Amino acid sequence: MQDEPTPIELTKAVADFLRNDITPLITGHQAFKLRVAINILDLVTRQLTQEEGRDASEVERLRALLGMDGSVTELNRALAERIAKGEVDLATPGLAEHLWATTMDKLAVDQPNYASYKRELSRGG
Amino acid sequence: MIEGELSRSVQRWCAGATGVTGAAKLSGGASQETWRFDITHPDGPIGAILRRSPKGYGAAPTRAAGLAAEAQLMQLAFEAGVPSPRVMHVLTPDEDLGTGFIMQRVEGETIARKILRDEEFAAARPHLARQIGGVLAGLHRLPQDKLPELRSRSATQEISEFERDYRSLNWPKPVFELALRWLRDHDPGPSVETTLVHGDFRNGNLIIGADGVRAVLDWELAHLGDPMEDLGWVCVNSWRFGEIDKPVGGFGSRVELFAGYEAAGRKVDPSRVKFWEVMGTLRWGIMCGGMMQRFREGPDHSMERAMIGRRASETEIDLLRLLAPRGG
């Protein structure tokens, strides 16, 4: 077990420093790049916060859907192959719900301000 | 300096020109650059744009039509009354500027978010969807016997090509697999009619002024194919920039787009348009993956490129909204 502060706390501290102390000092193209850098750190913080629990739910759904066990990567690969072969499709019970839940979890980390995501979130997640 | 070469060039083909000023690079990758500059002329400065591949970067990537074809298409469009910059000059090898062309600079805005939000475009916005329909109709009617040599692709070939691109990323994505299946199941077959297709006609590649569309840019993906492809691509959610209830570039409705297209004497096939919208959404998602790949393998190890990989999920939610919409 590693010591604290946690990676989440450390990443957040760097992002806040760049946002609050450095942003006012920088202009032009470098300011644009700084914004990208802060966005990356914010994304990393969101992923570190959310990934563990949501991956566990994803694995659970995939096991039920595929009737097999494996890591989240292995199970995604297996699902991709079955869809490609036509063995699983939108008529398969649980597939649409699984893809929606997984995609919503991705957007919550990648692009929580994306308009399509916000619209779907307002439907109840 | 590029101004020296440009000055020598303009004096050869622009009567009365004495030189150039204010050359500035607007954008550029490794193989293609865009520069703005002003031609010094006794009647007043003439705004111009240079599009070129620098020396040693002559070969175009496989999907691209090439700069010579681009120049020819823009000139044809200009002559046919499709909003387009006038091509002033095609570069020759002895000018030492690489390959490419010089065109008249059209003033206006290309940044989608500004066009969608700024007051300056408020009066134009409600008319843009219909106007875009008319522009596309004009473009699809360009005389085929005058077109440069272009690649020709059917829907079936495009699906295979995207599938190959996706598989080469080794990036298993169940939603992309679902989209590929859907595209194969809904492949509309050969188009009854093959026309020039712009290939990247969208909000961001149009110069817009207070009066509407002033120019269509970036013809590098032009090819021969199903004209409905352009109507589908312009509706891809990624080009609505947050205005998700206005499918045509965030400007307006499909009904307006189709009305503008048909008022100009051409027919719309809405199911083909939908097919190409799904295809376009997947296409942009795979492109995001390709950019992530280039970030990983270098030489472009930039943060921006890295972050584009994290935009593929935007196309996944949009594909689900198209293929497995939830109620209400």
Q: Give me the DSSP letters along B8-69.
A: HHHHHHSTT--EEEEEEEEEE-SS-EEEEEEEE-TT--EEEEEEEEPTT--PPPTT---HHH
Check residue B60 and give its pLDDT.
Answer: 46
- Co-location of B257 and B153 in the same domain: yes
Answer yes or no: do B86 and B209 share one domain: no
Do residues B170 and B209 both lie within one domain? yes
Is B232 in the same domain as B178? yes
* C-beta atoms surrounding A6 within 10 Å: 12
SS3 content of chain B, % helix, strand, coil (to 5): 45, 15, 40
Across A82-92, average pLDDT: 97
Here the ipTM equals: 0.96
Say whether pLDDT at B276 is over 50.
yes
End-to-end alpha carbon distance in chain B: 60
User: Of B104, B123, B141, which one is at a domain's C-terminal end?
Assistant: B104
Cβ contacts of residue B73 below 8 Å, gap of 6+?
B65, B142, B147, B148, B196, B219, B222
Same domain for B289 and B184: yes
Take residue B101 and report the two structure tokens written for it: 């062309």
- Give B155's contacts (C-beta < 8 A, 6+ positions apart): B183, B187, B188, B189, B190, B191, B226, B275, B276, B279
Asked if residues B95 and B8 have their Cβ atoms less than 8 Å apart, the reply is yes
Residue of B nearest to A117 (CA): B317
What's the total number of domains in chain A?
Answer: 1
**Nearest CA among B18, B29, B31, B27 for reference residue B60:** B31
Write the pLDDT tens digit of every residue in A27-67: 988 999 999 999 999 999 999 999 999 999 999 999 999 99
Tally of structural domains, chain B: 2
What is the predicted pLDDT for the residue at B129? 98
Domain boundary among B72, B104, B136: B104
d(CA B229, CA B281): 12
Distance CA B291, CA B285 (A): 10
Q: Is the pLDDT of residue B67 over 60?
A: yes
Q: Of A83, A114, A116, which has the smallest distance from its Cβ to B178's Cβ?
A: A83
Task: Indicate whether B44 pLDDT > 90.
Answer: yes
Structural domain contains residue B13: no
pLDDT at residue A121 tops 80: yes
Tokens at B233, concatenated = 């691509």
B318 and B202 part of one domain: yes
Query: B244 and B124 in one domain?
Result: yes
Which sign does the torsion angle of CA B195, B197, B202, B205 carry?
negative
Domain that holds residue B173: 112-323
Q: State mean pLDDT over A2-13.
A: 96
CA distance B248 to chain A (A): 15
pLDDT over 50 at B114, yes or no:
yes
Q: Which residues pair with B191 in a beta bridge?
A: none
pLDDT computed for residue B30 by the predictor: 58
Same domain, B70 and B150: no
Residue B328 lies in a domain: no
Say yes or no: B116 and B25 in one domain: no
SS3 B327: coil
Does B98 or A22 have the greater pLDDT score? A22
Q: What is the pLDDT of residue B62?
A: 61
pLDDT of residue A29: 86
**What integer pLDDT is reported at residue B280 of this predicted model?**
97
Any chain B CB within 8 A of the CB of A36? yes
Could you tell me if residue B313 is inside a domain?
yes
| A38 belongs to a structural domain | yes
Query: What would you measure as the largest C-alpha separation in chain A, in angstroms?
Result: 57
Give the pair of three-digit tokens for residue A41: 């750190």
φ, ψ of residue B15 to 5 degrees: the values are: -60, 125
Do B73 and B129 lie in one domain? The reply is: no
Q: What is the pLDDT of residues B194-233, one digit of tens each?
A: 999 999 999 999 999 999 999 999 998 999 999 999 999 9
Tokens 């000023």 belong to residue: B21
Task: Judge if B71 and B126 occupy the same domain.
Answer: no
Q: Please give the single-letter amino acid code of residue B318.
A: D
Shortest CB distance from A120 goes to which of B172, B310, B317?
B317
Q: Is residue A17 less than 8 Å (CB to CB) from chain B?
A: no
d(CA A20, CA B134): 48
With beta carbons less than 8 A apart as the criterion, state whether B195 and B261 touch.
no
- Domain endpoint, select from B47, B79, B104: B104
Domain that holds residue A38: 7-122
pLDDT above 60 (res B118): yes
Q: A5 CB contacts (<8 Å, ≥6 apart)?
A: A13
Distance (Å, whole) CA A38 – CA B14: 48
The SS3 of residue B303 is: helix
Q: Does residue B180 belong to any structural domain of this protein? A: yes
| Residue A2 domain flag | no
Residues 80-119 (A) with a CB less than 8 A from some CB of B: 80-81, 83-84, 86, 89-90, 96, 99-100, 102-104, 106-107, 110-111, 114-117, 119
Q: Judge whether B235 and B277 are in contact, CB under 8 Å.
A: yes
* pLDDT value of residue B64: 75
This model's pTM is above 0.95: no
Partner B contacted by A71 (CB < 8 A): no
Rounded mean pLDDT of chain B? 93
Percent of chain B with pLDDT over 90: 84
Q: What is the reported pLDDT for B328?
A: 57
The residue type of B185 is: D
- Domain assignment present for residue A1? The answer is no
Domain shared by B69 and B161, yes or no: no
